[in-house]
Structure 1
Amino acid sequence: MPYPSRRSVVMGTRGMAAASQPLAVAAGLRILEQGGNAADAAVAMAAVLAVTEPTSTGLGGDCFALYYEVNSRSVHALNGSGRAPRDLTPERIKKAGFEGALPPFHPYTITVPGACAGWCDLLDRFGQLDLARVLAPAIDLAERGFPVAPLTAHFWQRGAEAQLRHALNGHELLIDGRAPRAGECFRNLNLSRVLQQIALGGKRAFYEGPVAEAIVSTVREAGGCLSLDDLAEHQSTWDEPLSVTYRHLRVWECPPNGQGLTALLALNILSGFDLASLEALSADRLHLEIEALRLAFADAFRYIADPSFASIPVEVLLSGAYAAERRALIHPRQALPEVGYGNPYQGSDTVYFCVVDGQGNACSFVNSNYMGFGTGIVPRGCGFSLQNRGHNFSLDPTHPNALQPGKRPYHTIIPALVTHADDDALYAALGVMGGFMQPQGHVQVVTALADDALDPQTALDRPRFCLQDQSVRGLVALEEGIPEATLVALEAMGHPVERVTGMSRALFGRGQIIFRDRETGVLWGGSDLRADGCAFPLI
């Protein structure tokens, strides 16, 4: 093991689940034991994470999923993100006096929660079990209570101070005004009741009726403008996934409005460098990865938007010619003085989890509130907080990602899947959660697997970097474990750097990987040591 690790890679053959909470992993395995497939297990895990890690995810947020169907060797992309309220117009924002960006926890940042519909739509298309059985583990945990995991307790308290104590009905997710402590059991009877209603009535029980009414009345009481029609009209979309070939692998991401395109742009640039010949944590190698990601983010922030409202030149952005053009900007020993987006028209608080079933189907899934508890606003009597995804809209009316009613914002959460380039057999389901760290994490994990042949756990254990200001020459955070000589050399190249240790290492994201050996069928699982979770096989 070339990096300090607390865990060995986990192996199995009949199925495997990996998540940031062991209780979610247990739920996924239980569903597999009951005859469910990867889709069923993924939704069960999503629901349990909504109960056990409300610091990151929940019914008030969104989801994205990539589903690998083994019989057809095909990848399907589910966009479970919500849209801006119909009454949230640029004129309304201007009248309220906001410029540049919305305040992060303002009720105007609340977009329609897409998670519930996403769960139901994934089951409708690929699941084998009924919704009630799939949601049963989450309902039971919410009703009986569960012991709060250590890192979750830490971030729960941080969310209590930043959002819940100040937000409408935020006290519903606290105990006497504080977060539950590590090992303390937390019951969420309100959430249990909502999940039971969904189990019986499907997504209509969330987007219509008492739950929808509670969401709308609470948002309006807080000063927002979400309506019952906004909720009733919501729908997920099945989109064509994007992919690029990197070395011997094909890397898949969801298309915009998600930022998976960012990871693919960076990998396309890096494919022209011989990373394997460079020491993994050397300044020479990290410099190339940093510069590739800066160029990718510059394009992402310019072009990623809701494709229903903006034309996005994806095909050209992901072309070999465009990658070569951007790659040529990188100096091997000197940071770019500034990074701008290219012209293709010429020619970081989320849960990620994955599951592979015994047949070889796989689901790569992300569910998130954003910024921890999102706005921290809790629909009265519902037991979940509402996201603040609208904070990512641009208030520049000329920008592709400009706020418009009914529009989806630039979205940070991205699952990934990897197949073998020669036959599209499953290689791995993987993801690294955490805001704008996510495409950075995908790039660093994929290069660890493809260029350095690391196993999933070792790839996740490797220390990471994080661009703090993604599109200019801003601060680069380096995780403890990256050599001091690398830090000094990166500074000499022109990269402002800082070392990050302790609990602040959450900045570098929390990932899961399940790799499948196509010759033997053996599954290899890894779970990030920066979170409370694990990977575990079905026995």
Structure 2
Amino acid sequence: MRRRTFLSSLPAGALMAASAGAASARPVQTAPEAPFAGVTMGDRITGAPFAGRSTVWGANGAAATAHPTATLVGIETLKRGGSAVDAAIAINAALGFLEPTANGIGGDAFCMLWDPAQKKVVGFNGSGGSPRGLSLETARSKATERGVLPSVGAVTVNVPGTVDAWWSAHQRYGKLPWAEVLIPVAELCEQGVPMPQTIAWYLERNMASFDRGAARIEENDNRKVVYAPGGRTPRVGEVFANPHLGRTLRLIAAGGRDAFYQGELAEQMERYFRRIGGWLTRGDLSAHQTEWVDPIRTDYRGVEVYGLGPNTQGLSTNQILNVCEQFDLKGMGFQSAASIHHQAEAKRLAFEDRAKWFADDRFSETPVEWLNSKAYAAERARLIRPDRIMERAFPGDAPTQGDTTYFSVADKDGMMVSWIQSNYRGMGSGLVPDDGERPLGFMFQDRGELFALTDGHANIYASGKRPFHTIIPGFACKDGEPWMAFGVMGGGMQPQGQAQIIINMVDYGLDPQEAGDSPRWQHEGSSEPTGEAAEGAGVLHLENGVPQAAREGLVQRGWTLGPTNGGFGGYQNVVMQQNPGGRWTYGAATEMRKDGIALAY
């Protein structure tokens, strides 16, 4: 007999007596401080036991983003006849509203995509330069007590490159009319969408952080109007709208990129900075252009891995993989101490080169070919010892080197887009422009924080210069055919995460969803492109799923292990599978660390 049926057949008095007797017989229990401690995932009938869900498959298109509504926006754009680039623009515009903690039109964008007509990977650099009216002397006067630029305020604001990146990509690859890509997103901003769990958590903490640092922010009211209407940030499940951004997107839909960089919006942004004491001008905005670039490439055990060169850190992914290729990671074992040790040491070596060399190549020359070479990787790999960590990592003597949203989308014609966009640390600078009366609905990036202020440094601040950039899209091919458009968001975690995805799939045979759900490591404490030196050997953070035996082996090798810190990134991936005797199909994956979903049809 089922319990519910049995209890319902007892007299009420018997139930009360039984309840009272049971209560008196049991000691009073209090809820544990960590009610879910020791509880892990349920069992899956197939696939890796740590995977949260299956890879989704479709034949005509796919999208994977950090918000369910953004994924739907992308799929709907594809179904209306849009290209993968149309869908990417719509997704990015939507995420600026849906996930303001990670991106928006006040920031920069980078992309790599498979062009099926040219049968090659192409890319663009959509990052903006510093204001031409802001001198190095003035920038230094705003430095913190650590001698670096602050993370908020007008001194961190560079020209936002995202809208021009949309326009440039649409001019080359768009199928739908420009306005038809953006107007549905503007309507979404005006209607509002329920707030998901992770974004609600980040939004509340970002706004609290701005409040604590308000003295460094020249204007604090507009951000509260947009992101904390009614005096607080939206809670989980509450409908959040941003009609201010909707109005701005309608102006961009009607006037194209010029509305933002030369027209009404540019004038409003200039007036805003003039009023608060900032430096960005309409002239800075008007001079900006997206740069189409050839990605750099390396081969990892037969897989062609692509990245964007400096001023991004894309080369770091290649360098980590080039060093790891010198070792038998598969033989070491999945999630073993030996495997994680060699990967993390490769990261430490790569990041010292990153700190020394990576900068705007219009102002300094990075020896990309040498740093990306197999010969250099072999030389660096010899520095790694299997039984203990390097006491200190140094950059190579090469000859004359935050928060983000990432998404993948692919269309029926075989175009695959790997797109990443960010305001940098948290939501950005804290500054939300207005038209004199109403906010424009977006926050300016704080990417300028990443400039160095040290004489002679490749990444030293200069007027009109692009700072070192952390955001990097990922792309990989097999046998000259596209394989996957993928990325892992999150500041310095990005090349570490990208390398782990490739290693998980190539060395350990995981599928796209399993590769993302696998526990990750993150090393912190390397030298930085801001001029800050390494903190000894740094700290190696491990997610809870890393086996205890691996933890013990890493401690024995001398690693200082840090707690799981929530900084392990957010992953999206769309793969193309070549099927024998049939048409290729798409597999799409996202992960449990974000609010998003992956869909294919």
Tell me whether the two structures share a fold, i.e. TM-score over 0.5. yes
Cα 1:376–1:97 shift into 2, 3 Å: closer
Q: Deviations over 1:311-351 (max 9, x none)?
A: 111011111111111111111111000011001208x4100
TM-score normalised according to structure 1 size: 0.96
Q: Secondary structure at the match of 1:369?
A: strand
1-side partners of 2:203 and 2:137: how far apart? 36
2:153–2:431 contact (8 Å) kept in structure 1: no
Three-state SS of the structure 2 residue aligned to 1:344 is coil
- In terms of Rg, which structure is larger? 2
Instruction: Choose from 210, 229, 233 the match for 1:163.
Output: 210
SS, match of residue 258 in structure 1: coil
2:595 corresponds in structure 1 to 532
Indicate if the aligned counterparts of 1:64 and 1:80 stay in contact, CA closer than 8 A: yes
- Equivalence for 2:568: 508
% of aligned pairs identical? 38
Tell me the equivalent position of 1:419: 477
1:40-77 Cα shifts (integer Å, max 9, x gaps): 11111001101101111101011000011123221111
List aligned pairs for 1:23-34, cutoff 5 A: 23-34=69-80
- Contact preservation (8 Å) 1:57, 1:351: yes
* Stretch deviating more after TM superposition (336-345 or 63-72): 63-72
Say which of 372, 382, 398 aligns to 1:344.
398
Q: Could you tell me which of 27, 32, 37 is aligned with 2:83?
A: 37
The match for 2:517 among 461, 486, 489 is 461
The equivalent residue for 1:113 is: 160
Structure-2 separation of matches of 1:164 and 1:219: 20
Q: Measured at CA, do residues 153 and 512 of structure 1 come closer, stay the same or move farther in structure 2, by a change above 3 Å? A: same
- The correspondence of residues 135-534 of structure 1 with structure 2, limited to 5 A, is 135-163=182-210, 166=214, 167=217, 168=219, 169-171=222-224, 172-345=226-399, 348-380=402-434, 381-420=439-478, 422=479, 424-471=480-527, 472=534, 473-500=537-564, 504-505=565-566, 507-519=567-579, 520-534=583-597
Any idea what the Cα deviations from partners look like across 1:482-528, whole Å, max 9, x if unmatched? 0122112111111111231xxx42x0000101111123512111102
Q: State the 1:387 CA deviation.
A: 0.5
Contact 2:251–2:259 at 8 Å: present in 1 too? yes
Q: Is the Cα–Cα contact under 8 Å of residues 514 and 523 in structure 1 kept in the other structure?
A: yes
Q: Which moved more, 1:29-38 or 1:208-217?
A: 208-217
- Cα distance in 2, alignment partners of residues 323 and 246 from structure 1: 12
CA-based RMSD: 1.4
Moved more, 3-12 or 189-198: 3-12
Residues 435-457 of structure 1: CA distance to partner in whole angstroms, max 9, x if unpaired? 11000100000101111121110
- Partner secondary structure for residue 417 of structure 2: strand
Per-residue CA deviation, residues 172-202 of structure 1 (Å, 9 max, x unaligned), is 2212231111111111111001100100111
Worse-matched range after superposition: 2-11 or 392-401? 2-11
Check conservation: 1:48, 1:137, Cα contact below 8 A.
no
Cα drift, residue 376 of structure 1:
1.5
Aligned residue for 2:391, secondary structure, equals coil
- Per-residue CA deviation, residues 110-147 of structure 1 (Å, 9 max, x unaligned), is 00111111111111111111111111231111011111
**Gaps in structure 2 of 5+ consecutive residues:** 1-46, 528-533
The CA distance in 2 between the partners of 1:232 and 1:97, in whole Å, is: 28
2:15 aligns with: none
- Contact 1:60 1:385 (C-alpha < 8 Å) held by counterparts: yes
Change beyond 3 A, Cα 1:96–1:417: closer
**In 1, distance between residues paired with 2:387 and 2:346?**
13
Alpha carbons 1:164, 1:170 under 8 Å: kept:
no
Question: Which contiguous aligned blocks of 4+ residues in structure 1 show a shift greater than 4 angstroms?
Answer: 95-99
- CA drift of 1:160 comes to 1.1
- Which letter maps to 2:139? I
5+ long unaligned stretches in structure 1: none
TM, length-normalised to structure 2? 0.86
